[in-house]
Amino acid sequence: MPKVNAEVFGAKMKETGNNFFQSAVAAGMSPGQARKGTSKMTKAMLRAMIDEGVKLADLADEVGIEKAGKIAVGRIIVNAATGKDGGAMSAKILGSHHALNLWTPDTQVGVIVLNAPQTALDNKAAMLGLNAANDTTGPT
């Protein structure tokens, strides 16, 4: 079996949009082995993927969550203006990030908030059968 070039693999992963099969074959792995997926990765290939992941994490830290939200909204505006879907799914996923949470409804349907009437709060001790003067054990 020919040696797999991890540097070529890492570069192809980035070039092909993380297509494992294409990247592994380009790096020297046989198509049969590449079809078996990540179970046939060498340690060097794994390191190349981790290095790329670290670069992406650094990029996310550098951009910041507020700017990422603006990027998502900007992409949607461009797509709407041009009628193209170039990156709309990425923008949607980014906007769904827990720190941005751009796609939540303005109102929450099905949420019921119960507030006790003020007269019930004023007469709590009498309603619960407690002595209001020395009540320290009742609900507050």
**pLDDT digit string, tens, across residues 34-72:** 888 888 888 888 888 888 778 878 888 898 888 988 888
13 — phi, psi (to 5°)?
-60, -45
- pTM comes to 0.42
Task: Report DSSP state, residue 91.
Answer: H
Cα torsion angle, 53, 59, 62, 66, sign: negative
Amino acid at 71: I
Task: Report DSSP state, residue 72.
Answer: H
**Residues counted in the chain:** 140
DSSP assignment string, 2-41: PPP-HHHHHHHHHHTTS-HHHHHHHTT--HHHHHTGGGG-
pLDDT in tens, the chain (140 residues): 568 888 888 888 878 877 888 888 888 888 998 888 888 888 888 888 888 778 878 888 898 888 988 888 888 778 777 777 777 777 777 778 777 778 777 666 776 767 878 888 888 888 888 765 555 555 55
> Scanning the structure block, which residue is given the tokens 């992406």?
56
Q: Looking at residue 123, what is its pLDDT?
A: 86
Contact 91, 71 (CB under 8 A): yes
- Cα separation, 29 vs 6, whole angstroms: 10
Amino acid at 84: K
